[in-house]
Structure 1
Amino acid sequence: MSDVIWLSGLAAHAHHGVFPFEQREGQRFVLDVGYELDTRPAGRADDVAATVSYSDVAGAVHGVLTGPPFRLLEALAERVAATVLDFAGVAGVTVVVHKPQAPLPVSVADVSLTIRRTPITVVPAAPVRSVLALGGNVGDVPATLRSAVATVRQELGEVRVGPLVRTPAMTLPGSGPQPDYWNTVLEARTRLSACEVLALGQRLEARHGRRRDERWGPRTLDVDLVAHGAVRSSDPTLLLPHPGAVDRAFVLVPWAALDPDALLEGRPVGERAAEVGTEVLERVDAWT
């Protein structure tokens, strides 16, 4: 469950706006911020240490509002949301930005923007490392993976690509045999939200004919978001870090080739890869 603590009417003179005179002279802005958390521990203990202090949140939000100016309300709202979600225990946040003195050619009482964000939907304040695992066992998989890598580069910019590894297919008990999988891992830095990167992976799967007829069935392309910055999520839509990554050679081995010191659930990826590396049947380092 999530309860909501609201900070309503947090106001300040700030300098956000598209026009130079707005950034020079400033105007009044008002924020309403509702952050979601489980308040039962604080209700039982009657102790501020068991909650997320609204005084601390108000101070952090006021710092964003009166800090370096943004041109758009959308950018200001995203930064406020990211700031609130940095508090441990906050599961979601709603931000309403009011700009009652917005320069318009007609008279209005207010201009406002409302957004709701969670750890997997918020826009990061700065680029974060996003780790994608790609694989398949139907068709010309290396060619499919090359095409997918090219698309990710177009969408995300600079991308680091791990080696290609061949591993036995993971199958359900009682299911028939499948061809081996070819897999790789990509690392990118992006300001897309985790959900936006997930959507990119799903578009790639669809473009390459991915079908979901059976669990762990053969597939032309499978794209998993393994990690996205420091995001931790138990949302069924997107679990982060990916819970299966901790012991899967087809993720750990190519990831370790890129960044052996990256931490996954408190342990370096290189250490984890060394424990399962014997599951790799073949490795190709120069393949893109």
Structure 2
Amino acid sequence: MTQRRPGRPTSTDTIELIGVRARGFHGVLPDERRDGQDFVVDVVMEVDLAPAGASDALEHTVSYAEVADDVVAVVEGPPRDLIEVVASDIAELTLRRPRVGAVEVTVHKPQAPVGHPFADVRVRIRRSRRSPVVIALGSNLGDSGTTLAEAAERITDVIEIESESPIYRTDPVGGPEQAEYLNSVVVGHTALTPWALLHELNRIEAEHGRTRDIRWGPRTLDLDIISYGAPGRPDEVVLDEPDLILPHPRAHERAFVLVPWLAADPDARLRVGEEVHRVSDLVSRCDTSGVRADGSPR
């Protein structure tokens, strides 16, 4: 397998929350744990603010009030020996917000027991998103085998691919009468937010002549985000927006997605409503007669 290049955040927009103050009991000395002291925290988040600028809608940005609540909860929470851990905990909570691509957290400890005159003690960390993601690829126009191979290579610009399925021939589902498809699935991690990833996948589709004239009609290339984040874990992203629904709302019943996905990841899991299912169980419940190994895995 060729070297895979992880996707990286592309936004340079930021939301800066500066000087959140709370009292905590972090430190290694007994009096720090007993008496506590004030901590001051700065949080700088990389967020694509273009959608919010166009819509004036809170759901298209990040609530800095909620981020401040998280900061205070961590500072006032269980004592830590090191403020490095405090900063890491804040960064982890911040990155659970799907619109945050990266975050820089600075924790100030102005009353630290240094033993000499000083202005401030601070720890600054930066953390970037690295989220599990599953992408389904499909094509039934043109040289579909070459298209899928080229698309998988282009996807390495936005996803650190860990496994790929073989190519499968599949019968079309829904839509007009059309030729059979070639389908595959890639599994990996991305540094992009769900919306940035969708934008990049749409760009790759367009490079291969994808049009959207007929719903479920034939296409040169189809790239779908099936799942983003680990199902059932804090980093899982569940969305129901006009331009993006996660997990994919019909993946659980589509053999042309499930069979390749299981081949790429035998331990795969998918959220269906309120429950998380093993993909192997979903495969056993669906009709797989229309899915056939192509015999030409990449």
Partners of 1:205 and 1:219 in 2: CA distance = 9
Asked if 1:283 is matched to 2:286, the reply is: no
Q: What's the counterpart of residue 253 of structure 2?
A: 247
Deviation readout 1:104-128 (Å, 9 max, x if unpaired): xxxxxxxxxxxxxxxxxxx985522
How many corresponding residue pairs?
A: 216
Q: TM-score, normalised on structure 1?
A: 0.62
Identity in percent = 33
Q: What's the counterpart of residue 95 of structure 2?
A: 82
Correspondences of 1:187-266 after superposition (within 5 Å): 187-229=187-229, 230-265=236-271, 266=276
- Over 3 Å counting, the alpha-carbon distance change for 1:30 and 1:11 in structure 2 is farther
Give the SS at the match of 1:279.
Answer: coil
Partners of 1:242 and 1:278 in 2: CA distance = 19
Moved over 4 A (4+): 27-32, 54-57, 61-64, 75-80, 95-99, 123-126
CA contact (8 A) 1:136 1:219 kept: yes
Partners of 2:41 and 2:171 in 1: CA distance = 58
CA contact (8 A) 1:211 1:219 kept: yes
Q: What's the counterpart of residue 50 of structure 1?
A: none
Asked if 1:59 is matched to 2:73, the reply is: yes
Deviation (angstroms), 1:195:
1.6
- Over 3 Å counting, the alpha-carbon distance change for 1:77 and 1:211 in structure 2 is farther
Letter in 1 for 2:204: L
Letter in 2 for 1:81: T
CA contact (8 A) 1:253 1:277 kept: no
Deviation readout 1:78-133 (Å, 9 max, x if unpaired): 756325x49xxxx99xx99999xxxxxxxxxxxxxxxxxxxxxxx98552221000
Partners of 1:157 and 1:56 in 2: CA distance = 30
Deviation (angstroms), 1:58:
2.0
Letter in 2 for 1:60: V
Deviates more, 1:264-273 or 1:239-248: 264-273
Partners of 1:79 and 1:209 in 2: CA distance = 39
Deviation readout 1:221-271 (Å, 9 max, x if unpaired): 000000111111122221111111001001000001122322212110011
Q: What's the counterpart of residue 66 of structure 2?
A: 35
Q: Which runs of 5+ in 2 are unaligned?
A: 1-16, 24-38, 44-62, 108-125, 230-235
Superposed CA RMSD in Å reads 4.0
- Relative contact order, higher structure (CA 8 A, sep 6+): 2
Partners of 1:171 and 1:256 in 2: CA distance = 23
Asked if 1:135 is matched to 2:138, the reply is: yes
Letter in 1 for 2:243: T
Deviation (angstroms), 1:150:
0.9
Deviation (angstroms), 1:29:
4.7
Partners of 1:285 and 1:143 in 2: CA distance = 14
- Over 3 Å counting, the alpha-carbon distance change for 1:33 and 1:252 in structure 2 is same
Partners of 2:226 and 2:133 in 1: CA distance = 8
Partners of 2:84 and 2:73 in 1: CA distance = 12
Partners of 2:156 and 2:106 in 1: CA distance = 37
Give the SS at the match of 2:84.
Answer: coil
Partners of 1:33 and 1:62 in 2: CA distance = 18
Q: What's the counterpart of residue 170 of structure 1?
A: 173
Q: TM-score, normalised on structure 2?
A: 0.60
Give the SS at the match of 1:251.
Answer: helix
CA contact (8 A) 2:22 2:72 kept: no
Deviation (angstroms), 1:282:
2.0
